[in-house]
Amino acid sequence: MAVYERRTRVSAPLEAVWDFHSRPSGLEALTPEWLHLRVEAVRAPDGDTDPNVLVAGSRIRVSVRPFGVGPRRRWVSVITDRERTDGAAHFRDEMAEGPFARWVHTHRFFADGDETVVADRVDYRLPGGRVGGALSPLARVGFDPVFRYRHRKTRELLE
Q: For residue 82, give its domain range.
A: 2-158
Please give the pLDDT value at position 132: 73
Please give the pLDDT value at position 104: 98
**DSSP codes of every residue in 99-127:** SSSEEEEEEEEEEETTEEEEEEEEEEE-S
Q: Give the pLDDT band of residue 153 (cuts 50, 70, 90).
A: very high
Please give the pLDDT value at position 31: 96
Determine how many CB atoms are found less than 10 A away from the CB of residue 34.
14
Please give the pLDDT value at position 50: 95
Mean model confidence pLDDT for the chain: 95
Number of structural domains (the chain) is 1
Please give the pLDDT value at position 55: 97
Cross-strand pairs, 15: none
Please give the pLDDT value at position 124: 92
Going from the C-alpha of 152 to that of each of 14, 31, 127, 156, the distances in angstroms are 16, 11, 29, 6
From 138, 118, 85, select the one nearest 9 (Cα to Cα). Answer: 118
83-136 pLDDT, tens digit each: 999 999 999 999 999 999 999 999 999 999 999 999 999 999 988 888 777 777
| pTM of this prediction exceeds 0.85 | yes
As a whole number, mean pLDDT of residues 21-38 equals: 95
**What's the CATH number where 88 sits?**
3.30.530.20
The Cα–Cα gap between 146 and 121 comes to: 13
